[in-house]
C-alpha cells in the first residue's frame, strides 16, 4: 500500500517536472561536439566521430591554454569555463564552497538535471564532519541559466552535438575546480553526482587521477538508453525517435556512456559508491544493474546501496537518511569495500 502511494507521488513529481518543457528539433550539430568537424550531414558520419572520441584519451582533458583566473569571495568561487558557448552566462562557472576548516578532504557535488537550488543541508552536514564541500553549477543551471529558459534544455536535448558539448563542458569545469582544490592544499578529492550529475562525476572519476572516491546516485551506463526509456525525458525521445534508431543514438552518445570507461573506473586507486532506487522510472533499474555488472567484470568493487523507492522519492525520509549515512560511511572509510553480488 505504502509503495503504491510512493509510486503515485513519484509520478506526480515527474508531471510537475514536465511543466514548461516542449519538444525541440533533432539536430546533429557535430561541430559543437567535435570542434573542427565541419559540416557533417549524416548520422553515420557523426557516429564515426563519436567512435574516435571514445578512443581518444584526451577528449575530456583540459586544454593547454586554460584560463586559470579564479575569483573567490564570501564563500563563492567563480572562474571561466574552458568551453565558450553563445550563452555568455554559461561561460562563467560558479561554485559554492562550504569550508570544513580542514584540508584533509574536499567533495565536489554535481547536481541533477534541472536542479532549482543547491543543498545547504548536505553541504553543512559534511563540512561539520571535516569535509569541505564544493557545489558546482553545471552548464545552463543556476547562475549559468540561459536567459528566458524555464529549464536546462540546452544541457540535455535532441541536439546530439550540443548535449555532448554540454556534458564535456561540465566535465572540464569539474576537473578545473579539482585542480584549484588541489592547489589550495586538499589532499583527498571525492566527487558525488546525482542522476545526470552522476554521468559527469563518473566521467571525471574515470579520467582524473586526482579523484580518489566517487559516489554515483541514480546512475546507469548508457545515457542514450536512459533518455530513450526514462520518465523525465519523454519529450526528448519524441523528437529523437522519428529521426534516429536507439542503436545509432548509443553510438552517437558513446563518449558519454560510462560503460565505455568501466576499466578506467575500476582503477585500483579509485573507490566507488553507488546509490540506486529499485522503483526508479527515470533511470530504469535494469540499466543500472547492467552498468554494475559491467563495472564488476572490469574489476571494480563498488559499494552498492539499493533502496525501495523511486527516483524523486529518494529525497524523502527515510530513504535520503539511509543514502546520506551510507555516503558518510563511504567517505570516512579507507580502502575498497568488499565486492557485493
Q: Is residue 337 part of a domain?
A: no
Q: Is residue 339 part of a domain?
A: no
Residue 235's domain comprises 2-332
Q: Is residue 188 part of a domain?
A: yes
Indicate whether 184 pLDDT > 70: yes
Domains of the chain: total: 1
Q: Is residue 341 part of a domain?
A: no
* Average pLDDT score over the chain: 94
C-alpha cell at 27: 539536430
Q: What is the CATH number of the domain that holds 233?
A: 3.40.50.1820
Structure confidence by residue, pLDDT tens digits, 261-271? 999 999 999 99
Q: Is residue 173 part of a domain?
A: yes
Structure confidence by residue, pLDDT tens digits, 99-134? 999 999 999 999 999 999 998 999 999 999 999 999
Using alpha carbons, select from 134, 263, 254 the residue that is nearest to residue 207.
Answer: 263
Characterize 304-340 residue by residue with b for buried, 16 or more Cβ atoms within 10 angstroms of its Cβ, and e for exposed: bbebebbbbbbeeeebbeebeebbeebbeeeeeeeee
Q: Is residue 212 part of a domain?
A: yes
Q: Is residue 76 part of a domain?
A: yes
Indicate whether 338 pLDDT > 90: no
Q: Is residue 319 part of a domain?
A: yes
Amino acid at each position: 500500500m505504502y509503495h503504491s502511494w510512493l509510486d503515485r507521488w513519484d509520478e506526480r513529481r515527474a508531471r510537475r517536472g514536465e511543466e514548461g518543457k516542449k519538444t525541440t528539433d533533432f539536430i546533429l550539430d557535430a561541430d559543437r561536439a567535435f570542434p573542427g568537424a565541419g559540416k557533417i550531414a549524416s548520422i553515420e558520419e557523426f557516429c564515426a566521430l563519436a567512435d574516435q572520441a571514445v578512443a581518444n584519451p584526451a577528449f575530456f582533458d583540459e586544454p593547454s591554454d586554460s584560463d586559470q583566473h579564479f575569483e573567490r569571495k564570501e564563500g563563492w568561487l567563480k572562474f571561466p569555463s574552458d568551453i565558450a558557448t553563445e550563452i555568455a552566462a554559461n561561460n562563467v562557472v560558479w561554485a559554492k564552497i562550504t569550508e570544513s576548516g580542514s584540508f584533509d578532504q574536499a567533495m565536489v557535488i554535481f547536481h541533477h538535471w534541472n536542479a532549482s537550488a543547491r543543498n545547504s543541508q548536505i553541504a553543512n552536514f559534511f563540512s561539520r564532519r571535516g569535509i569541505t564541500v564544493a557545489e558546482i553549477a553545471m552548464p545552463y543551471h543556476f547562475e549559468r541559466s540561459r536567459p528566458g529558459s524555464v529549464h536546462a534544455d540546452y544541457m540535455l536535448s535532441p541536439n546530439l552535438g550540443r548535449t555532448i558539448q554540454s556534458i564535456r563542458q561540465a566535465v572540464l569545469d569539474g576537473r578545473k575546480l579539482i585542480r584549484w582544490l588541489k592547489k589550495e592544499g586538499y589532499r583527498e578529492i571525492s566527487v558525488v553526482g546525482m542522476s545526470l550529475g552522476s554521468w559527469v562525476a563518473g566521467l571525471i572519476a574515470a579520467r582524473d587521477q586526482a579523484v580518489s572516491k566517487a559516489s554515483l546516485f541514480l546512475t546507469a551506463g548508457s545515457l542514450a538508453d536512459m533518455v530513450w526509456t526514462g520518465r523525465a525525458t519523454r519529450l526528448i525521445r519524441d523528437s529523437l525517435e522519428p529521426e534516429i534508431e536507439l542503436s545509432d543514438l548509443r553510438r552517437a552518445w558513446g563518449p558519454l556512456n560510462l560503460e565505455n570507461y568501466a576499466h578506467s573506473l575500476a582503477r585500483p586507486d579509485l573507490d566507488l559508491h553507488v546509490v540506486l532506487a529499485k522503483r526508479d522510472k527515470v533511470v530504469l533499474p535494469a540499466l543500472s544493474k547492467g552498468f554494475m555488472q559491467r563495472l564488476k567484470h572490469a574489476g571494480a568493487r563498488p559499494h552498492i546501496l539499493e533502496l525501495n523507492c523511486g527516483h524523486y522519492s529518494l529525497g524523502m525520509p527515510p530513504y535520503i537518511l539511509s543514502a546520506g549515512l551510507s555516503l558518510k560511511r563511504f567517505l570516512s572509510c579507507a580502502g575498497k569495500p568488499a565486492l557485493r553480488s
